[in-house]
Amino acid sequence: MRRLLLTACTGLLLAVACTHDKAASSAVSASAADLSPEATGRGGAAASVDVRATAAAIGILESGGNAVDAAVAAAGVLGVTDPYSCGIGGGGFMLIYLADEQRVVSVEHREVAPQGLHRELFYEGAAPIPMPEVLTSGLSAGVPGMARGWEVALERYGTRGLADVLQPAIRVAEQGFEIDAFFHEQTARNVDRFKLFTSTASLFLPGGEPMPVGARFANPELAKTYRLVAREGSRAFYQGEIARAIVDTLARPPVAPDAPRKVRSGVMTLSDLADYDVRIREPVKSTYRGYTVYGMGAPSSGGLAVGLTLNLLEGYEPAAMSRVDFLHRYLEASRLAFADRTAFVADPEYVDVPVAGLLSKEYAAERRKAIDPARAAAGAVLAGNPFAYQQDPSTTRSAAASLSAAGLAALPPSVLDVPNRETTHITTSDKAGNIVSYTCTIEFEGGNGIVVPGYGFLLNNELTDFDVPPSPVTPHANSPEPGKRPRSSMSPTLVFKEGAPVFALGSPGGSTIITTVLQTLVNHVDLGMPLLESVAAPRVSQRNTPDGKSQAEPEFLSSREAAALMEKGHVFADVGPIGAFTGIRFNPDGTVTAVAEPKRRGGGSAMVVERAGR
């Protein structure tokens, strides 16, 4: 669990240095006693991948802040301690339950394609540019949404401002933290990319190599960035010196003189940054076995894919069949949902997304007929026709959208579709009953690999989430366009029963986010596992890839269930750990149980304001 290697003496000194700020003190003085993947109590809760981020959230809650304040505080700290997964150079999706209004809202601060970006930029010689070249380049960066997203969430639904909630992150960035094994491993995996850029190598590779476990890492330039945003608001990021630095960095990447290859420039302008805005969107809503499930709508595919998969599974009774037979149906339902997700979900401001059809129980009943109860599908399956099940008769398919479902589903996944990309998830609640499920990211591990010189943060490569068909003239719902938001798989989720909250959950992991959320829910609701056991259980992810394979963790591959599923035609690929879940369960006795990954990515941290039994 993102081990803190602070000595007792150092931890004491840091705590004393910032006793005037409870949340900031919590962020830098969290101790080994706080390293737990599960905590039950009252007064509010928080869970994240990092103990300092979780402690910052709890400090905000203890000082009277609400769940939104706490989530933003945690995200700010993660920008320091987990910089390869999220940060102010990226964006996210925040799902919020407002207890006094008994409603769910979403703050979508997804990155946006610059106005100068056209699909032809992703091709060379009529063929897609090789993925590594786009991945690590200025071309892959979308206009970051994080700073504006934080500000809007706080202004509309929080009780504190940026000047307050960013203090814990500023403290950690200034005073530093001791590098753990996971941070070191992440850096080591990216050495070749980071060495391409002078600013990135200077920050993360002092001396030309990753800093060793136990070394102290501080980021005073990021502390400067946070101070500017804390003092001036998001305009400091989108209109001031930071904006100019971002545009200059992408136009002229700080490539090292001895770099072994050319790095492509980006097309972002100052007006792209100045024009960025957040979207307050209605969440998508579905039901499953008496539960009401809220998720993110487009441009995220998470809520729609989760809802459709659960609708497909609702036609089966797990108690009436073996575990293997139910897992078979779960994998096949996910395969069908991903076919539809890939074909139809994209930025709703650019395409007609058939939301009602995808979440229709009648559509699920029809789609379920494609599941063979005895045999796994061989290869990719075709998309269905959710447009035929739209509840709004005024919704019709445009001429551009009238392509056959088979034509859309036959496209191979984008050459840029890399599974298990980094991201992170934060879950918070407060004593008033407000809840936040928040997934944020800079996309690939380390984003596009470029640190903005003088400002200490990595830029995202979120535009790799667009689909790039084999030919630039092939239509696709999620193809790159100016001003468009790429499709995401982020799946912050809130689950209710009879109007009361039951779970809040989410995970990182690229397109495996959807299956991690699904499998955790299925484990808990259908298979009866306790929540922490549901989180720790071995994972398998079926996402309708052309080869038909499901990706799985080693522990799943060695299980009896995997062997029995292979007899039904399932084929698996070992991909190592999948996801890094955090969540909160709301218990019937009024307590809450916060849960984080016990082992994956080094494990996470779960805390409550007041532990049960105290």
Q: Within the chain, how many helices (H) and strands (E) appear?
A: 24, 20
Distance CA(381)–CA(337), nearest Å, equals: 10
pLDDT at 510: 87
pLDDT at 64: 97
142, two tokens = 């979308």
Distance CA(475)–CA(402), nearest Å, equals: 11
Which residue's structure tokens are 């269930």?
561
Which runs of E-coded beta strand occur in 187-343?
Answer: 216-217, 279-281, 284-288, 291-295
Cβ-based neighbour number of residue 405 at 10 Å? 17
Asked whether 89 and 122 are in contact (CB, 8 A), the reply is: no
**Annotated catalytic residue within 423, 427, 439, 520:** 423
Give tens-digit pLDDT for 401-424: 443 343 344 455 554 554 555 789
CB burial of residue 290 (10 Å; 0-12, 13-18, 19+): exposed
408, two tokens = 């859309």
Distance CA(18)–CA(23), nearest Å, equals: 9
pLDDT at 412: 54
pTM: 0.92
pLDDT at 422: 74
Residue type, 379: G
Asked whether 213 and 180 are in contact (CB, 8 A), the reply is: yes
pLDDT at 413: 53
Residue 311: closest CA among 356, 357, 365, 355: 365
Residue 185: closest CA among 418, 451, 445: 445
Residue 80: closest CA among 189, 179, 206, 228: 179
Buried b (16+ CB within 10 A) or exposed e, 458-475: bbbbbbbbbbbbeebeee
Residue type, 568: K
Enumerate the β-bridge partners of residue 584. Answer: 504, 594
Q: What kind and span of H or E run contains 441?
A: strand 435-441
Asked whether 437 and 492 are in contact (CB, 8 A), the reply is: yes
Q: What kind and span of H or E run contains 40?
A: strand 38-48
Give tens-digit pLDDT for 8-37: 222 322 332 333 355 666 555 554 446 799
Buried b (16+ CB within 10 A) or exposed e, 230-263: beebbbbbbeeebbeebbebbeebbeeeeeeeeb
Asked whether 70 and 57 are in contact (CB, 8 A), the reply is: yes
pLDDT at 508: 87
Q: Which sign, positive or negative, has the C-alpha torsion 60, 65, 70, 76?
A: negative
Which residues of the chain carry a pLDDT beneath 50?
1-20, 31-33, 393-410, 415, 418
pLDDT at 9: 29
458: alpha, beta or left? (left if phi > 0; alpha if psi -120 to 50): beta
pLDDT at 394: 46
Domains in the chain, start-ordered, CATH in brackets?
Answer: 8-279+417-611 (3.60.20.40)
pLDDT at 4: 39
pLDDT at 399: 32
Buried b (16+ CB within 10 A) or exposed e, 484-504: bbbbbbbbbbbbbeeeebbbb
Spell out the residues 6+ positions from residue 257 whose beta carbon is closer than 8 angstroms to its own. Answer: none
pLDDT at 395: 47
**423 a catalytic residue:** yes
534: alpha, beta or left? (left if phi > 0; alpha if psi -120 to 50): alpha
Distance CA(429)–CA(375), nearest Å, equals: 43
Enumerate the β-bridge partners of residue 178. Answer: 216
Distance CA(177)–CA(18), nearest Å, equals: 15
